[in-house]
Amino acid sequence: MTAPVTFRSLEKKQAGGEWQPGSSPLDEWYEAIRDTPIDELSDGNLCRACRQQLYLDAIIPIAVSRLRLDPLAGDMYDGELIASLKAVPSEFWHSSSSEAAAVRSAIAETLRENDDGDLKADIQELVARIPAL
């Protein structure tokens, strides 16, 4: 049986060694979740990891899975995960075409069916960052 993927396990794979904690709120958050299996992160923690662009290759597949289950996933508000994906650099989407297609697919129906202006704006901004296939 393989060990779950955590931020700590991903740190060990990177050159430069293990992360050293600081005293900022962001450091405290990271320290609190770095041993949590990535697929068990709360929606809020997943959103924050996206906004911080942490280990996107590991985080984005989990985010896509959550969007498929609930396009309005979020902790602080409906659609927070969609909004947090706007922080993912366009270069990531260009190099990860399958993830880009999965996000487009997961949010397409939400755009058509939702009347929330802020959510529609977030979706449109995200779609603009993701290459069309």
The number of folded domains in the chain is 1
Contacts of 62 (CB under 8 A, 6+ apart): 38, 39, 41, 46
Residue 3 has pLDDT above 90, yes or no: no
Residue 103 lies in a domain: yes
Render pLDDT for 69-104 as a digit per residue (tens, 0 to 9): 998 899 999 899 999 999 999 999 989 888 998 898
Is 1 part of any domain? no
pLDDT in tens, 18-59: 667 778 899 899 999 999 999 999 999 999 999 999 999 999
28, part of any domain: yes
Show the CA angle centred on residue 11, arms to residues 61 and 52, nearest 5°.
55
115 or 41, greater pLDDT: 41
Q: Residue 2: inside a domain, yes or no?
A: no
Tokens describing residue 117:
């202006």
Residue 118's domain comprises: 7-13+22-129
For range 116-129, the mean pLDDT: 86
